[in-house]
Chain A
């Protein structure tokens, strides 16, 4: 009672035992709290499970080359522009591609062939789901135009070169009245060509 009256009379002195209580209690609490450096508990759980994606364990069909090839030909519908296999194994942040993968596994387990699975996907998601368009109708232009243009350009270039190399080149005349093609000291070359030759010889001087 005397003690209570003492602190009533001198309130500032009450702070000392209060601080001691807080300090001791705090230390005790700190000891009781889990050590911050511990990354997981004894049962193998992660300290912060939310910091990693949660995944289902791998099944054999995840590694099946047939399924992988099939998925590489089908586009993920999440908008990433990647095929299902690449998307579901890239950064593992997409929720759509694992779902599509499970759809493919389900169809495969139902006994459907690769073509049937592709048709099923086209029926559900449209032709966009194929990573490359079917070679039919207007799509043929997609495949044939680049090669055709290249072949045509190659033929035209060859024809042009064969034609022009045989043609006699008209010799232009300079302002001084000397033809550029006039021979200099018996050399069949224009002054311009000789100039270039001189530069090349200087450059190629090994």
Chain B
């Protein structure tokens, strides 16, 4: 199987290079057979990489420990589904996963894209194949998943216990899918620049891809938060770790693009800016991979330091130089069709929204790279941790939240004073009601008050938009308000799906605001003893240690500490937290004991219990209790974000029933237009 895997990678390299050479040589332009060959090469590339992936999976499933990767990340007693997920658990396997998914997306882009963009597709195939070839080269010359050991060990090292969590089955692939799918919009952008077809056509061609990429990244980031929360046992979900930051950066620029692209579609403005954003987003996704795999910045997430980082750095620099040079060359062809008419317009609001999003991205990037910069300039290493990022980004985040509410209220082109008064009245009132309630209940944390007040304002905006739309349908069509709201989605999924995403974002801010009131406490309890912890809402939890039981399950010895929980004297039930000592197939301990937290979810707050360890090997246990206010809204927001994102991507009824011809979309760009 390793032979087949090796062979498939080499075949993929040759096929990919063929596609790249033909696509960029331009010889296909007068040769339909060569154009078709470029197209077919993407499918052949996919086939080669699928064979290589199957070869690795067979090696994993058959416990072929002669393969170094299989021996490093699996063991005989590893549950079957984690054997499967070990495919992307390590550096080498994840590179193959990246390559095969990119090849799949590249082939799908060829297959699904409308023929009206046929002149762009060979270039698109060239770019996707080039990026795939880069990953194949990294595998073949630096990090080969089919590398063999000189001997065959009787068992493998097993999978890190923290990766043996359901969140890790979904979280890494989602992030990878987000990172990888960014390549398709980037490929269309480069194709548009190369072919000088710089109208809004290429923007329409990538609309679904950009949304897909944004959604995958968003889901991946949220799942990462959830995994950190339920698995790592520190009670938090975001630590501003460089690798977390690296995933956040392309999400921010992609979010900026999703807004600014509307201005290009509706007003023909910001063509240069949008191309810059797409290129930057792609480069940031490669930058994130570089950080994760180079070891240049210390991170809790990093793969082992290896020469792979140099490959990514070289590719990052080359991609940046080529992309921005191309953008510079085409600069004169990208003049806006119209200019802004008023500062009080939705276009201006979107520009400031872009400023905030890119500003946050810049500050996160700056903070992430500052340790390297500091070492280069002053010769001393510094740490840039959460205190720095919170200080810089919280005000920017609040500004962005305010714009989330302001943007939809302002008219396109130019808003009048009466229009502004009519639009802002109720949203501002709802924000003020929230503010008054918070002050009445004694909240005094400035940033939390601001976050919740602005959330109230944004919610007011969204409710008003839905109410007005539903009322109009109710009046015109005589529908009930419920039916009218449902049909609003059908008529304009992009607009109303977008509002659902705005609600999701405000729920994230609600959860962040709750973080300021977190309470935690450590306690050592013998069976029968109790500890108390007081919630920020004023009630008191009593936790009584029932005992510790131990048993063997699957590939581990499990120690479960059980506590009885009551709130203000009223019994709520039992809560368990575990320690898991993983063992190999010979029963020998592997890794440090890991933690499984006990969480009692509530809309107001989570009660979070961690069994930290035992005192002198007895049932006397050390616990950490945490009360995390409003955390559950983060997960609800995540679900809403998925619903909103899918709603936006879903084909609209109007689009299905009555396709709208667009002269603007089809017209090739000319200088000065």
Pick from A46, A81, A154: contact of B618, CB under 8 Å: A46
- Complex Cα distance, B384 from A73, in Å, reads 11
The answer to whether the Cβ of B27 comes within 8 Å of any Cβ in the partner chain is: no
Query: Chain B residues with Cβ under 8 A from A79's Cβ?
Result: 298
The answer to whether the Cβ of B663 comes within 8 Å of any Cβ in the partner chain is: yes
User: Which of B36-44, B285-293, B320-328, B334-342 forms contacts with chain A?
Assistant: B334-342
**B255, chain A: closest CB distance, angstroms:** 17
Query: Chain A residues with Cβ under 8 A from B592's Cβ?
Result: 53, 91, 93
Pick from B348, B374, B382, B559: contact of A52, CB under 8 Å: B559
- Complex Cα distance, B370 from A100, in Å, reads 26
The answer to whether the Cβ of B172 comes within 8 Å of any Cβ in the partner chain is: no
A138 touches B377 (CB 8 A): yes
The answer to whether the Cβ of B622 comes within 8 Å of any Cβ in the partner chain is: yes
A150 touches B557 (CB 8 A): no
**A43, chain B: closest CB distance, angstroms:** 8
A54 touches B239 (CB 8 A): no
- Complex Cα distance, B349 from A158, in Å, reads 11
Pick from B363, B378, B559: contact of A138, CB under 8 Å: B378
B476 touches A206 (CB 8 A): yes
Pick from B300, B658, B667: contact of A81, CB under 8 Å: B300
User: Which of B51-59, B149-157, B218-226, B516-524 forms contacts with chain A?
Assistant: B516-524
Query: Chain A residues with Cβ under 8 A from B80's Cβ?
Result: none
- Complex Cα distance, B351 from A154, in Å, reads 10
Q: What number of residue pairs across chains A and B have CB atoms under 8 A from each other?
A: 258
B524 touches A133 (CB 8 A): no
The answer to whether the Cβ of B386 comes within 8 Å of any Cβ in the partner chain is: yes
The answer to whether the Cβ of B362 comes within 8 Å of any Cβ in the partner chain is: yes
Query: Chain A residues with Cβ under 8 A from B266's Cβ?
Result: 196, 200
The answer to whether the Cβ of A55 comes within 8 Å of any Cβ in the partner chain is: yes
- Complex Cα distance, B299 from A157, in Å, reads 36
Which residues between 387 and 428 of chain B lie within 8 Å of chain A, taking CB atoms? 387-388, 391-392, 396
Pick from B235, B488, B579, B663: contact of A53, CB under 8 Å: B579
Pick from B366, B612, B618: contact of A146, CB under 8 Å: B366
Pick from B233, B494, B548, B558: contact of A92, CB under 8 Å: B233
The answer to whether the Cβ of A17 comes within 8 Å of any Cβ in the partner chain is: no
Known contacts A86-B236, A131-B387, A142-B366: does B619 contact A44 (CB below 8 Å)?
A: yes
Known contacts A63-B522, A82-B300, A142-B366: does B472 contact A206 (CB below 8 Å)?
A: yes
Known contacts A81-B241, A93-B592, A206-B469: does B385 contact A131 (CB below 8 Å)?
A: yes
Query: Chain A residues with Cβ under 8 A from B233's Cβ?
Result: 89-92
The answer to whether the Cβ of A31 comes within 8 Å of any Cβ in the partner chain is: no
The answer to whether the Cβ of A130 comes within 8 Å of any Cβ in the partner chain is: yes
User: Which of A6-14, A110-118, A162-170 forms contacts with chain B?
Assistant: A162-170
Known contacts A146-B363, A165-B340: does B617 contact A54 (CB below 8 Å)?
A: yes
Query: Chain B residues with Cβ under 8 A from A52's Cβ?
Result: 548, 559, 579, 581, 593, 611, 613-614
A195 touches B663 (CB 8 A): yes
The answer to whether the Cβ of B660 comes within 8 Å of any Cβ in the partner chain is: yes
Query: Chain B residues with Cβ under 8 A from A161's Cβ?
Result: 340, 343, 348, 351
Which residues between 600 and 616 of chain B lie within 8 Å of chain A, taking CB atoms? 610-616
Known contacts A131-B386, A203-B654: does B618 contact A44 (CB below 8 Å)?
A: yes
Which residues between 27 and 49 of chain A lie within 8 Å of chain B, taking CB atoms? 37, 39-40, 43-49
The answer to whether the Cβ of A20 comes within 8 Å of any Cβ in the partner chain is: no
**B578, chain A: closest CB distance, angstroms:** 9
Known contacts A133-B384, A165-B340: does B550 contact A51 (CB below 8 Å)?
A: yes
Which residues between 234 and 251 of chain B lie within 8 Å of chain A, taking CB atoms? 234-236, 239, 241-242
Mark each residue of chain A from 66 to 89: 1 if its CB lies under 8 Å from any CB of chain B, else 0: 000000110100011111001001
The answer to whether the Cβ of A96 comes within 8 Å of any Cβ in the partner chain is: no
The answer to whether the Cβ of B571 comes within 8 Å of any Cβ in the partner chain is: no
The answer to whether the Cβ of B196 comes within 8 Å of any Cβ in the partner chain is: no
The answer to whether the Cβ of B16 comes within 8 Å of any Cβ in the partner chain is: no
**B215, chain A: closest CB distance, angstroms:** 21
B387 touches A132 (CB 8 A): yes
A44 touches B620 (CB 8 A): yes
Most buried by B among A50, A132, A164: A132
B359 touches A150 (CB 8 A): yes
- Complex Cα distance, B589 from A50, in Å, reads 9
B613 touches A92 (CB 8 A): yes
B579 touches A133 (CB 8 A): no
Binding site for A on B (CB under 8 A): 162, 232-236, 239, 241-242, 266-268, 298-300, 337-343, 348, 351-352, 355, 359, 362-363, 366-367, 370, 374, 377-378, 380-388, 391-392, 396, 469, 472-473, 476, 488, 491-492, 494-495, 520-524, 526-527, 548-551, 557-559, 579, 581, 589, 592-595, 610-620, 622, 624, 652, 654, 658, 660, 662-664, 667, 672-673
A-B contact pairs, 29 of them (CB 8 A): A39-B550, A40-B548, A40-B550, A53-B593, A55-B622, A63-B521, A75-B383, A81-B239, A89-B235, A89-B520, A89-B624, A91-B234, A92-B233, A130-B382, A131-B386, A131-B387, A138-B378, A142-B367, A142-B370, A142-B374, A143-B391, A147-B363, A149-B359, A150-B362, A161-B351, A164-B339, A167-B339, A192-B667, A196-B266
Binding site for B on A (CB under 8 A): 37, 39-40, 43-58, 62-63, 72-73, 75, 79-83, 86, 89-93, 126-133, 137-139, 142-143, 145-147, 149-150, 153-154, 157-158, 161-162, 164-165, 167, 169-170, 172, 180, 190-193, 195-196, 198-200, 202-206
